[in-house]
Amino acid sequence: MIEFIDWGTIDYKEAWDKQEILFEKYLNTKKDKQPVSETPVGDIIFCEHPHVYTLGKSGDVNNMLINDTFLKQVNATYYKTNRGGDITYHGPGQIVGYPILDLESMNLSLKQYINKIEDIIISTLSSYGIKADRLEGATGVWLDKENITKARKICAIGVKASRYITMHGFALNVNTNLQYFNHINPCGFVDKGVTSIQKELGREVDIEEVKAKLKENFEKAFNTTFY
């Protein structure tokens, strides 16, 4: 069974700690050599964070372009995390998704799982008339990927997995204040931009409506109903 949870607005470190508890719960089941479930198992969490920058475990700290003093001035925090990927920003108006799933119960590899997340985001954006795609060599969801000068990321993805249990996830820019990305090299890129649904449509979007569309597309992608 997969449970859908909405944490609302929550501090990044608090959310990380809560993720770790759920992650360990599923991981301990594997360590105890319990039989793999025949149905999908896990939790899918949506939330928003106050302004925060996070650096992946293999990320380059030099992609953070501001110091601690400036961080305080823009009312933001910074954490080095245990997820994959480089540096990114989370903040109000952005949907952050933390699927904590047993991929073995779904017969999925980590690569297949990330592809599913990308497909879910692409399908959700399509419902708003936004054409998005993957960009070879760059995890996440992009617009105008064929145009070097216009390619821009709308959703970042960074995960951790152990024994086929996942944590961390994706960050979809909905009504995000994109100015905050000016203080980093997003995901390590210096030649590509970022965007949001709001920027692409020229209007603010109901974030709860986007969450509902995402949830529906998750259920379709994983062929299950969330509880």
82: in domain = yes
Question: Can you give the CATH number for the domain in which 88 is found?
Answer: 3.30.930.10
Length of the chain: 227
104: in domain = yes
Q: Which residues of 35-55 are buried (b: 16+ CB within 10 A; e: fewer)?
A: eeeeebbbbbbbbbbebbbbb
Which distant-in-sequence residues (6+ apart) come within 8 Å of 133 by Cβ?
122, 141, 142, 143, 145
pLDDT of residue 185: 86
pTM of the predicted model, to two decimals? Answer: 0.94
pLDDT of residue 17: 98
CA-to-CA distance for 122 and 141, rounded, in angstroms? 7
Low-confidence ranges of the chain (pLDDT < 50): none
193: in domain = yes
DSSP the chain: -EEEEEEEE--HHHHHHHHHHHHHHHHHHHHTTPPPPSS--EEEEEEE-SSEEEE-TT--GGGB-S-HHHHHHTT-EEEE-SSSSSEEEE-TTEEEEEEEEBGGGGT--HHHHHHHHHHHHHHHHHTTT---EEETTEEEEEESTT-TTT-EEEEEEEEEEETTEEEEEEEEESS--GGGGGGB-GGG-SS-EE--HHHHHTS---HHHHHHHHHHHHHHHHTS---
Total structural domains within the chain: 1
pLDDT digits (tens, 9 = 90+) for 40-55: 889 999 999 999 999 9
122: in domain = yes
218: in domain = yes
For residue 203, count CB atoms less than 10 angstroms from its CB and return exposed for 0-12, middle for 13-18, buried for 19 or more: exposed
* Active site positions, annotated: 187
Query: What residue numbers bound the domain in which 183 lies?
Result: 2-222
227: in domain = no
Token representation of residue 106: 């779904």
pLDDT of residue 190: 64
- The pair phi, psi for residue 64, each rounded to 5°, is -90, 115
191: in domain = yes
80: in domain = yes
pLDDT of residue 191: 66
Task: Please give the distance of CA 54 from its chain centroid, rounded to a whole number.
Answer: 12
pLDDT of residue 31: 81
